[in-house]
């Protein structure tokens, strides 16, 4: 099953799998980049983060493998009179063509063998002094039932970020327990890694 098939199946259900509210960690970091204009939302799914930041005045691009998820994003954008550029593509095939002041993601499920290539592309896509901010499920999430994959190859360790992104300052890379309340898909206590990087 391709990434598109997998996520189209998940997003074809009624409603929004992870709700329509922005990820709380991303929201908590917006003070860091209040003066930034161009934002990329990676693995954006049904669009909750993209819509939130577009409402805040950012110029937002969103990438996801699921055309079903992106159609929901476009519907929300239209309802709110927002312009959000979308690209439906597997991130393994993504070729960065522009730079961003901020790149954000929440719960990006990337296999270990694809991370070097993807993280290099993220770093390449950041403007100098730009931020990469994300929340990821840690390997300890195997012990919790609040969402996320039950596959260690799709879960993360702090070292996945510390040992990559050599052009970035690691402002904060922390593993911690949080309580998720994000639609039907993320409910309850979860082990996550919260990442704030700034390109030098």
User: What tens digit of pLDDT does each residue of 35-89 get?
Assistant: 779 999 999 999 999 999 999 999 999 999 999 999 999 999 999 999 999 999 9
SS3 string of 46-112? CCHHHHHHHHCCCEEEEEECCHHHHHHHHHHHHHCCCCEEEEECCCCCCCCCCCEEEEEEECCCCCH
Q: What is the pLDDT of residue 34?
A: 80
For 3-42, write each residue's pLDDT tens digit: 999 999 999 988 999 999 999 999 999 999 887 799 999 9
Output DSSP code: residue 185.
Answer: T
- b/e code 47-79 from CB counts within 10 Å (16+ = b): bbbbbbbbeeebbbbbbbbbebbbebbeebbee
The domain ranges of the chain are: 3-199
Query: Over 80: is that where the pLDDT of 191 sits?
Result: yes
| Section 80-104 average pLDDT | 96
Cβ-in-10-Å burial (0-12, 13-18, 19+) of 96 comes to middle
Q: What pLDDT, on a 0 to 100 scale, did the predictor assign at position 36?
A: 78
What is the DSSP secondary structure assignment for residue 7, as one 8-state letter? H
Structure confidence at residue 33 (pLDDT) = 86
Residues 3-199, CATH architecture: 3-Layer(aba) Sandwich (3.40)
């Amino acid at each position: 099953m391709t990434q598109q098939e997998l996520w189209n199946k998940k997003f074809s259900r009624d409603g929004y799998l992870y709700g329509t509210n922005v990820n709380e960690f991303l929201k908590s970091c917006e003070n860091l980049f209040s003066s930034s204009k161009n934002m990329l939302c990676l693995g954006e799914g049904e669009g909750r983060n993209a819509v939130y930041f577009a409402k805040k005045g950012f110029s937002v691009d969103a990438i996801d493998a699921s055309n079903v998820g992106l159609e929901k994003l476009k519907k929300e954008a239209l309802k709110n009179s927002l312009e959000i550029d979308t690209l439906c593509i597997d991130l393994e095939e993504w070729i960065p063509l522009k730079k961003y002041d901020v790149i954000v993601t929440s719960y990006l499920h990337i296999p270990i063998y694809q991370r070097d290539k993807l993280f290099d592309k993220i770093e390449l896509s950041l403007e100098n002094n730009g931020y990469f901010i994300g929340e990821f499920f840690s390997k300890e999430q195997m012990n919790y039932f609040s969402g996320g994959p039950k596959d260690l190859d799709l879960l993360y360790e702090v070292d996945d970020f510390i040992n990559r992104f050599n052009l970035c300052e690691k402002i904060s890379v922390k593993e911690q327990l949080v309580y998720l309340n994000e639609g039907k898909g993320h409910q309850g206590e979860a082990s996550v890694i919260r990442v704030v990087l700034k390109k030098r």
